[in-house]
Amino acid sequence: MIAAIDVYYPEDGSAVAGAVIFKDYTDSREYRKYTCHIPKTEAYMPGEFYKRELPCIMAVLEIVKEDIDTVIIDGYVDLGEKPGLGWYLWKALDYKKDIIGVAKKYFMGSDAVKVFRGKSKRPLYITSAGIEPSKAAGLIENMHGKNRIPDLLKLADSLCRGGR
């Protein structure tokens, strides 16, 4: 099973993490959805985003009942030579799950694989741990949906935003 996870931060210092669970990258619908409210989060610190986001991702993963093989996050696994959020997640999961990072903006120095979906002229930037980046990019490229952002990743975003 695959989990696409996103986190939303309302202005009150809390967070809502959403996880969309699905069986195959080409699925058009989710298998199950989860949300988790986190009452208090760390303040955002430039260069240390993982300190804010990782506890939220781990909180929603704790309530997921399915056996997850891969976690897709909104962000980077690595930032070139530096670890990113996905690397810290991979470490927190004892290096036992594949992690795929899907970012919408380029991070200077990143070695992300560019994926163009739909008719968009703007790429998605794919990084990974536990799976070759080129393979991860192919999986994201072939996800269901006609737009730049695959449908189930978009659902993860709207799920956490709707859980305010």
Q: How confident is the model at residue 42 (pLDDT cuts 50, 70, 90)?
A: confident
The predicted structure's pLDDT at residue 65: 97
CB within 8 Å of 5: residues ≥ 6 apart: 17, 18, 19, 20, 57, 60, 61, 71, 72, 73, 74, 156
Spatial separation of the C-alpha atoms in residues 96 and 136, rounded to whole Å: 16
Give the residue among 155, 16, 54, 46 at the shortest CA–CA distance from 107.
46
User: Which CA distances in Å does 116 have to 75, 147, 149?
Assistant: 16, 9, 10
Per-residue pLDDT, 8: 96
Average confidence score pLDDT of the chain: 95
Q: What is the pLDDT of residue 163?
A: 55
Q: Which of 96-100, 119-123, 160-164 has the lowest mean pLDDT?
A: 160-164
Domains of the chain: 2-162 (3.30.2170.10)
